[in-house]
Amino acid sequence: MPDSLVPIAPSYNGHLHTGPTAPTAILMLNLGGPQTADDVGPYLERMFLDRELIPLPFQERLGRFIARRRTPKIQKKYAQIGGGSPIYYWTQRQGQQMVKWLDQISPETAPHRFYIAFRYADPLTADALHQMKADGVRRAVAFTQYPQWSCSTTGASLNELWREILRLGLRDAFAWSLIDRWPTHPAFIEAMAGKICEGLAQFPPAERDSVLLLFSAHSLPLSVVERGDAYPQEVAATVQAVMQRLDFSHEFLLAYQSEIKPFKWLGPSTEQVIRKLGAQRRRNVLIVPIAFTSDHIETLHEIDIEFAELAREVGIANFKRAPALNDDPRFARALAQIVAEHLRGNRLYSTQYKLRCPGCQNPMCRTLLSPAKDIGCAEGSPAAEGQLSAA
Amino acid sequence: MPDSLVPIAPSYNGHLHTGPTAPTAILMLNLGGPQTADDVGPYLERMFLDRELIPLPFQERLGRFIARRRTPKIQKKYAQIGGGSPIYYWTQRQGQQMVKWLDQISPETAPHRFYIAFRYADPLTADALHQMKADGVRRAVAFTQYPQWSCSTTGASLNELWREILRLGLRDAFAWSLIDRWPTHPAFIEAMAGKICEGLAQFPPAERDSVLLLFSAHSLPLSVVERGDAYPQEVAATVQAVMQRLDFSHEFLLAYQSEIKPFKWLGPSTEQVIRKLGAQRRRNVLIVPIAFTSDHIETLHEIDIEFAELAREVGIANFKRAPALNDDPRFARALAQIVAEHLRGNRLYSTQYKLRCPGCQNPMCRTLLSPAKDIGCAEGSPAAEGQLSAA
């Protein structure tokens, strides 16, 4: 948890670039979150106006209407978790640690600078691009902070990146490559396994062996699953890799949370699973957020407040949550390692990136403007998909 | 493909047990299939009367009605693939090779005999149990031939096993342990990767790099997914493990086939994906059956005839199928290795076996009658879940 959630002005990187070499930019893509109560409205509006996330009929009018209607309710939730989302705070700390490690393990591409591009909150993509330009960046890596691909998350962030580059006339400014997924990268899995061990330590020793690990990922509308989105497969792969790392020490389940009506969503629903575990008189449950790398409203409110209360109601004696990766140094090292392998691999993106969903209707998808061809990149990279040995 | 589909009388094992030691029985659990046109009716009737597979209102009457109505249509399909299902033929060959290997790599538990228990076709569970009794078996391993757990497949087979043991008064006859899942066992993954390479070799060399690997598994009703069935997670884990083994050499998708109306099933649907790949002008598709280890009507008819015709219609120039594992010696060795590790591991079942689905309503589930305690077994086995190194 951050000591303070006071909004911090985007300062990007701790150390100054003084050498003769242009910095290598690592653009960290994520959802973002409102830092104050006043930010909630614009945040929800951007979200409900994004038809790559939530396609609505009469998007402009209905999106604004839904956002306005939900704002007070969501403001109240943020008030209960300290006033705002900590995602900017955590991403900054992750970025700072990551570039420090990167300068050590990849001196040939140093100095490294990180930039943050949130999809629905400050700093937005345009802020990051302006700062990159001001810093004299040429070579840039767009690094999704969602371990598993979904068109709703990484896809929407990348599409926004290409749109903003064109809008700002920055097509020739940077040479890009992408880390578009890393669901089973061994260093990420190692960090996740560590968080689960920390979670297990919260249980009374005598109960620890009987803990059920309830992996929970943000759900996806079934329409997106049916379009062929890779997310369910990749989330499941992460779960399996973590359990293998733990030697299948505990029983586990995978469920999905945060469905929004009236769509049909991928199940089983975490909320329903908690109810049913209560009915089965399960005493010990450790919930493990598996598709997001920082604390956010779905961990701090939905899990820690709403699900914890539900668990009490249905009689689960010990309901705990594995800590989010946040500023865990193992995770920052994992991020650095993923980037270092990517830079060494000289590939533009993963093998999967160019594969549009079979049901895709969005001509924007799977674009790559200004590929980093000049530095000898080739297409298709297995690097970030986890099969490379640890550096 | 078998040379002949003439029904073979269940003879179980090639070599006779002559030594002083009672044989270790490996009971291979699978769906089964009708070997002749006359077998189709009883096969479908068993299937539609099984409420662990397809819960129906008025199961007895409606099940028989649906089975009778579907019989001529399904008979026609079997006629088109040579008259019957080859699953008995292939399971026999797999079993023969498996016990030969087992006697070599696990001499301490030799001799090994395999028995086949199909859920809906001969030989049924009772046939296998009678034969085991006649052979003087004491120690028995129930070995599911479905790599990934589902309550509809492995669960239903095991529940039938316990019911039949009780019905036949054989509770004290055998001491049991279970291999209830093996979705990412390295030897299985190795064999699968080999089959994909054989599949790729069917494409013109110039086209080979652009082949899309379309993994296809039997679909599951969404109601079963929502109950918390492990199948989608484990199928996805198999796909990821195979792709890692192949170094993510090709683009891939996971889809689900064989939905039966009027239920809602897990998607994306293989059929719909093929249509959409055609619309995207995809030229080269290799379909890879990933949740079944022998040829059966879903490979020989649904894929090789129906989907192949659809692929032609929608303009996919090269639509091929990876061969099923069938009697591939790598696969028989994998089966032997999985059993040998299980026997050495001295565990009764996987860590996941005793975890009932959160939405489970079936008091029969996750039973183990007559556990092999006398041979020093402990509960919970990671062995068959794939994290053990190759023997």
Select the residue from B251, B265, B354 to test the A interface by mutation, using most A Cβ atoms within 10 A: B251
In A78-117, the residues whose Cβ lies within 8 Å of chain B are: none
Give the start-to-end residue ranges of the domains of chain A.
24-182+330-385, 186-321
Q: What is the pLDDT of residue A260?
A: 86
pLDDT in tens, chain B (391 residues): 344 433 333 333 434 444 558 999 999 999 999 999 999 999 999 999 999 988 888 999 999 999 999 999 999 999 999 999 999 999 999 999 999 999 999 999 999 999 999 999 999 999 999 999 999 999 999 999 999 999 999 999 999 999 999 999 999 999 999 999 999 999 999 999 999 999 999 999 999 999 999 999 999 999 999 999 999 999 999 999 999 999 999 999 999 999 987 789 999 999 999 999 999 999 999 999 999 999 999 999 999 999 999 999 999 999 999 999 999 999 999 999 999 999 999 899 999 999 999 999 999 999 999 999 754 444 444 434 333 233 2
Q: How many CB pairs under 8 A join A and B?
A: 131
Strand partners, B252: B213
B354 chain-A contacts, CB cut-off 8 A: 251
Cβ neighbours of A232 in B, within 8 Å: 232, 236
Query: Taking the model in full, what pTM does it have?
Result: 0.92
The predicted pLDDT at position B346 comes to 81
SS (H, E, C) B344-369: HHCECCECCCCCCCCCCCCCCCCCCC
Q: How is residue A356 written in tokens?
A: 């549009």
B46: Cα separation from own chain's centroid: 18
Please report the sign of the dihedral spanned by the C-alpha atoms of residue B311, residue B312, residue B318, residue B319.
positive
- The CATH code for residues A24-182+330-385 is 3.40.50.1400
Sequence-distant contacts of B11-14: CB under 8 A, at least 24 apart: B12/B95, B12/B113, B12/B114, B12/B115, B12/B116, B12/B131, B12/B135, B13/B95, B13/B96, B13/B99, B13/B113, B13/B114, B13/B115, B14/B96, B14/B99, B14/B100
B 338-357 → A contacts, CB under 8 A: 350-352, 354-356
From residue B372, how far is each of B160, B336, B348, B351, B369 by CA, in Å? 19, 20, 7, 16, 9
Where residue A58 falls (left for φ over 0; alpha for ψ -120 to 50; beta otherwise) is left
The pLDDT tens digits for A206-263 are: 999 999 999 999 999 999 999 999 999 999 999 999 999 999 999 999 999 999 877 8
In whole angstroms, give the CA distance from residue A303 to residue A271.
Answer: 9
- What is the Cα–Cα distance from B148 to B386, expressed in whole angstroms? 12
Q: Do domains A24-182+330-385 and A186-321 have the same CATH topology?
A: yes
Q: Does the pLDDT value for residue A15 go beyond 70?
A: no
Phi, psi (deg, nearest 5) at residue B178? -125, 140
Kindly list the residues from chain B whose CB atom is less than 8 angstroms away from the CB atom of residue A277: 358
| A2: Cβ contacts below 8 Å, ≥ 6 apart | A86, A89, A90
Strand partners, A176: A140, A371
Q: Say what the pLDDT of residue A20 is.
A: 59
Residue in chain B nearest A277 by alpha carbon: B358
Q: Mean of the pLDDT values across residues A352-377?
A: 87
pLDDT of B11 reads: 39
**Within B83-138, where are the H helices?**
87-105, 125-134
Rg (CA), chain A: 20
CA B43 centroid distance within chain: 17
Provide the shortest C-alpha distance from residue A354 to chain B (in Å): 8
Angle of helix A87-105 versus helix A329-345 axis, rounded to 10: 50
Least confident of A286-290, A377-381, B81-85: A377-381
Contact across the interface for A225 and B268, Cβ inside 8 Å: yes
- Does B193 contact A at CB distance below 8 Å? no
Query: How far apart are alpha carbons A379 and A173 in whole angstroms?
Result: 21
Check CB contact under 8 Å for A351 and B249. Answer: yes
Q: Which of B149, B221, B240, B190 is nearest to A230 (CA)?
A: B240
Picking from A337, A299, A343, the residue whose alpha carbon sits closest to that of residue A109 is A343
Instruction: Judge whether A165 and A27 are in contact, CB under 8 Å.
Output: no
Determine the average pLDDT of the residues in A114-123: 97
- Residue position matching structure tokens 């290799």: B286
Query: Which of B233, B265, B273 would best serve as a mutation to test chain A binding (most A beta carbons within 10 A)?
Result: B233
* Alpha carbons A178 and A181: distance in angstroms, whole number: 9
Contact A380, A371 (CB under 8 A): no
What fold characterizes domain A186-321?
A: Rossmann fold (3.40.50)
Q: What is the pLDDT of residues A162-171, one digit of tens each?
A: 999 999 999 9
Average pLDDT, chain A: 91
Separation in Å, CA A16 to CA A13, A135, A211, B222: 7, 10, 47, 54
